[in-house]
Amino acid sequence: MCVSWQERFADAPDVLASADCRPTVVQVLDLKIGAGECITMAGPCSVETEFQLIATAHHVRRAGARILRGGAFKPRSSPYAFQGLGLDGLKLLARAREVSGLAIVTEVMSEDDVPLVAEYADILQIGARSMENYALLEAAARSGKPLLLKRGLVATIGDLLRSAQLILNFGNPNVMLCERGIRTFETALRNTFDAAAIALLKQITHLPVIADPSHAAGRSELVPALARIAVAAGADGLLVEVHPNPDKAWSDGEQSLNFAEFDAMMAALNPWIELRNLEFERRDTGNEAIEVMG
């Protein structure tokens, strides 16, 4: 017997799409994420210096990015790795927004830090390692800020939906899901990019879905191909690491695009985004026809 998605994820009912459910559109400054346009969020893994961040912000904006990403607090696997600039990094992000006009997305790691990060950021990112940190999810939800919820390293789609449901239960409807690759038996890449999850989430949920090809690949030369796959699967946006000089990056340089590589990726994405937009227009037209007939 075939089990419906509603039955399979019965503990996350408000996240699931239904016949009378409109897609969630998340408003971030003047942007509408989930409204049809594919939004690119780009910037360095870690905020390092004012020059590095401002130069990156200006460049990614010229290339078509609408949101600047950058880590002020960094959850690193090694205690000896760079852990982020903290408050100084948040201040640099705010300065970059001021001079570039880009919205800001940055990670918050602790419920105690939510008020501070929310003061500076336009979107709070919940990292893969924090997807099931329920105290953090509650605090972030209650901030009222839009949330970018990353799928955990070994999380199932059901696990991701349950965490999203928790945020909705705390009164925050502005949730974006993020596929960033999961840990499997395969070791050739940093993570296994689950493109099927993007297509599935777009079908069974009403929430916007963002793809992070940088963390999925772990290697910069593969990021453009995974970005194209994500767009073809229906992603509402991309989260891409970009650095002026990846060889000198303080974190994740091996998966960061330099400026020329980012420009080439954005140019190559144009026909894929056009096809995606045509599919969304066709789907919206079909839904309108169904409503008229109903």
Q: Is the dihedral of CA 118, 124, 126, 127 positive or negative?
A: negative
Would you say residue 247 lies in a domain?
yes
Write down the residue that tokens 């999203």 correspond to.
164
Would you say residue 30 lies in a domain?
no
Would you say residue 6 lies in a domain?
no
Amino acid letter, residue 138? E
Helix count (H) and strand count (E) of the chain? 10, 10
Write down the residue that tokens 């901030």 correspond to.
143
Assign residue 61 the CATH number of its domain: 3.20.20.70
Would you say residue 148 lies in a domain?
yes
Distance CA 285, CA 291 (A): 10
Would you say residue 28 lies in a domain?
no
Would you say residue 175 lies in a domain?
yes
- Domain count of the chain? 1
Amino acid letter, residue 18? S
CB 90 within 8 A of CB 113: no
Collapsing DSSP states into helix, strand and coil, what is residue 222?
Answer: helix
Domain that holds residue 150: 37-293
Tens of each residue's pLDDT in the chain, 294 residues: 567 888 889 899 999 997 678 899 999 999 999 998 999 999 999 999 999 999 999 999 999 999 999 999 966 556 655 667 899 999 999 999 999 999 999 999 999 999 999 999 999 999 999 999 999 999 999 999 999 999 999 999 999 999 999 999 999 999 999 999 999 999 888 999 999 999 999 999 999 999 999 999 999 999 999 999 999 999 999 999 999 999 999 988 999 999 999 999 999 999 998 888 787 777 666 555 434 334
Would you say residue 285 lies in a domain?
yes
Collapsing DSSP states into helix, strand and coil, what is residue 73?
Answer: coil
Amino acid letter, residue 171? G
43 beta partners: 241
Distance CA 241, CA 223 (A): 9
> Which residues 6+ apart lie within 8 Å of 238 measured at CB?
38, 39, 40, 41, 42, 210, 211, 212, 213, 227, 230, 231
Would you say residue 49 lies in a domain?
yes
**Percent helix, percent strand, percent coil in the chain, to nearest 5:** 45, 15, 35
**pTM over 0.75, yes/no:** yes
